[in-house]
Structures are given as C-alpha cells and as structure tokens.
Structure 1
Amino acid sequence: MTLSTRNLKALPDIPTLKRLTQSLAMLDAMLSPEWEYRYYSFNAAWSDEAAMASMRNGSGDHWFAIFCQAGAALHGLAHEAPAFRPGTPWPGIFERLPGEFRANLLEEPAFTTSDSTFCLWRLSHEERWTCGPVELPPGEDPDGSAELLGILAGRPEQYVEFAADYYERDLDLGDVEAIYRHQPLSDALVRRVNPDLDMASLENDIAEIGYPRQVG
C-alpha cells in the first residue's frame, strides 16, 4: 500500500526520516545550484530548537517537516486534492496535534497552515506516526498525501526516477544510494552527480543541510 496519511506504517522512524530529508536536499543542491528551483531543501539550524525539511513543487504544492527534541511533525498542501479548502483546513487535521509542535508549526509565520490538506506527527517516545481524526472526502488520494509523501518511503530508485523527470538528469543508482546512506561527500561523488560542480561550490549548502563531508 502506498505511503499516505492512510498508511503511515511505510514512513520511517524520526532519525531515519531526518537523514532521508537531508539526503534529498543534498541531491537537489547538487542538481540545482539555484536554490529557488530546488524541490527539496533542509535547514539544520532553522531555529535554536529545530531543523526544518521542505518540499516545494513550484505549482503550489508543498510540505514542511519540523525536527525538534520533542519529535517530528509534518504538514502539507496539495491544492488539487478534494480536501483542499483555501483558508480553512479540512476539519480534524490539527485537532490532536501535540502542544510541543504548535509553536514551531501552527504559530510559525513562515508556514501557511490555513490551507493545509494533511498533517502528521510523532513524539520522540512514540513508536508510530499519527494523524488527526479526519474524515476525508472520497477519492483515491483525497488529501494529496500519497502524491506528495511517496518519496519518503526511502527507496533510492524513487529519486533516480524523480531526477530523470524533474531535472532531466540520469543518475547512477549507486551514487544516489551513497547519498541516502550519508556517505561523506567527496569531489568525485559530487562530479558524478553533476560534472559542473565541485565541493567548494557546495560549501554553504553542505553546512546548511548538515550533511557529512569527506575530511582531508
């Protein structure tokens, strides 16, 4: 069954999800030197208390994930989903969101949660991801979560397919697997992903994402 708010068992645990979103951001940084054209981003020092991962598809759909001491929470917007109601989230989406996430999510000016079509979270001591008591409209993907969250299942071949479609780049699966494993970046690995770049040109991105780099 496809990863979605109706099947959260396919979503990895918090540390694994954080590493995955860093990997996605690092791959995007190598394929798109211009930040505004990237699909996936990660800021390891987004605030004093939290790191933030994001996806923006350039067509109005997005998700934002917060990683903090309390755990992790993610909310997203799929503007063509049946559950999209501009200015008014579908009932129940944020109803049971733990208070630990409210300041970093609902009260954060950088996020527009009034249009969100889905939200999920997991406290650090919990063993599973949770959603609010939402009664979704009928449809195969009523809140858009299956379409937007699928990459978070963590299979490297998904990114290879994504890069071929979005960036029109044919990546070697082994190189993507290496980034998914957080293999420290080297000039050789960077140039295999994008021959037009080197480590020096990625210094700021590596620091912002918090991705490991080869020493020496």
Structure 2
Amino acid sequence: MTVYDVARALPGIEELRDHSRGLAMLDAVLSPQWEGRYYSYDAHWSDTEQLASMKDGEGGEYTIVLSPAGAFARVFDHESPISPYGPLAGGETWPGVLDGVPDAFRAYLTEPAFLDEDDVHVTTACLWRETGDTAWRTGPVDLTELTDHEDPDGAARFLALLTDRTPEAYARWASAYYETAVDLDAVRHVLALRPLTQEVVTALHPGLDLADLAEDRAEIGYP
C-alpha cells in the first residue's frame, strides 16, 4: 500500500477530527505521562488551527493540521526508502511528495515544526483535503521502482488507525503497544466521544482518577 491507497481510505475531515480526538483521549487515559503516548491532539495549536499527531518513539510520526481551509497531513517514516535521510533521496524530500499542495496549505511547506535544521521538509507522504472537497489529494509521487517494499512511504502503517477506525482495531493495537488488556466497551465509548466517566476511566486504567485528566481533556477538546 502507498499514500494513494490511504487517500482513498481516509474519512472526511470532521470524522477524522473526531476520531483523532478519541484516539488522543484513549492514549491519555492509558498513558498519563505524555512522553509515553502515541497519539495526541492539540485543539489550540493556534487561534484557527488544531493538530492531530502521532509519534512512535522511534522516529516515525505524522501531523495533521485541521483549519478552516481543510486538512493537511504529513507522514514521516525514518525507515522508508524515500526518507530524506536515506541513500536514495540525497538529503531532500522525495520528488513529487509535496508537489501540487494548494495555496490554502502552502504555509505548511515552510512550517518550522515540519522542517529539519537544513530546512528540509521531513516528510515521506503528504495528503490534503480542502473544505468542501470530496476526496483526499496527494502529489504525483513515483514509487514504481519500490515495488519490493510493502509500505514504501509509511502512510499505510502510520495512518492505519485512521483508515481502520473500528474500536476493535484500536483495542488490538493498544493491547500490544501498552502491554495491557484494553476494555473494548470503554474504547467504543471514548471513540464515540461520549462523556468521560470514572467508570470508563477505571475500565481502561484502574487507579486513575477522572479529575487527573482535566488538563488533557481541555487540550484535546474532548466534549
């Protein structure tokens, strides 16, 4: 799978926003220490923008900026053969990855948070969707020479829980990642953005107090 397959499987902007908030809230409950979390959400990234993000702790990440203009997503897989730091790319973002980004999102091509110290855009896959658009778009990336790689740009792996948004998918992933049993009914509750209760918190993380999550709930914008 490549970024093209992922683009067809991603949901609309509002569904993606809600699901991202649910993922971030689940991770906040399962990992009260922010440094140990995989998924995060900043509902106040700027006055007009929100940021859904993922960091795997090993150099892989994604960021999705949600704004009045729509959504702009970048993925970075440090193990990808098209990584700027790999032997094929020569220290530059792979050709085509950022081509075609519309004016509404051009500012993110120079956003310091997405650049390294040499001003290289640290991205192996890029997708965007303007408000009112009917599909996600990508640049004209040629990956035909990388057919021996199952996921050459990292998009399929890192965006897996945005393309498969079932509670079962998250529960399976979280059970392995956090090395603990994960209550499926509680996952369903949070991904549906239902009001967070002590009962749900206890089902996911025994001993954690609901009140301890107040700051996280505010940052995520969990309803």
Superposition TM-score tier, normalisation by shorter sequence? over 0.9
Letter in 1 for 2:51: M
Any conservation in 1 of the 2:43–2:49 contact (CA below 8 Å)?
A: yes
- The counterpart of 1:89, out of the listed 76, 89, 93, is 93
From 165, 182, 187, the equivalent of 1:176 is 187
Q: Is the aligned partner of 1:114 residue 2:124?
A: no
Alpha-carbon shift at residue 125 of structure 1 (Å) = 1.3
Partner of 1:210: 221
Report the 3-state secondary structure (helix = DSSP H, G, I; strand = E; otherwise coil) of the residue aligned with 1:141.
coil
Residues 114, 122 of structure 2: 8 Å contact kept: no
Task: Tell me, in whole angstroms, the C-alpha distance in 2 between the residues paired with 1:174 and 1:192.
Answer: 9
Question: Which one of the candidate residues 128, 138, 143 is aligned to 1:131?
Answer: 138
The match for 1:33 is: 32
Q: Partner amino acid for 2:97?
A: I
Q: State yes or no: 1:61 paired with 2:60.
A: yes
Give me the identity figure in percent.
Answer: 44
Counterpart residue identity of residue 27, structure 1: L
Aligned-residue CA RMSD in angstroms? 1.3
Report the residue type matching 2:155 in the other structure: S
- Worse-matched range after superposition: 118-127 or 191-200: 191-200
Structure 1 residue 191 displacement after superposition: 1.2
1:29-86 deviations in whole A, cap 9, x for unaligned? 0011111111000000110110001000000000000000000010011111121122
Structure 2: which 5+ runs fail to align?
A: 86-90
TM-superposition CA deviations, 1:144-173 (whole Å, max 9, x none):
111111110211111111111111121121
TM-score by length of 2: 0.90
- Segments of structure 1 that go 5 or more residues without pairing to the other structure are none
Distance in 2, Cα, partners of 1:123 & 1:16:
14
Deviation at 1:111, TM superposition (A): 2.1
Counterpart-to-counterpart distance in 1, 2:150 and 2:174 = 25
The corresponding residue for 1:80 is 79
Tell me whether 1:140 sits opposite 2:150 in the alignment.
Answer: yes
Matches of 2:47 and 2:110 in 1, distance apart?
A: 16
Per-residue CA deviation, residues 178-204 of structure 1 (Å, 9 max, x unaligned), is 111111101111111111212110000
SS of equivalent to 1:100: helix
**Which residue number corresponds to residue 18 of structure 1?**
17
Work out the CA distance in 2 between the residues paired with 1:62 and 1:140: 18
Partner Cα distance (1:148, 1:115) in 2: 15
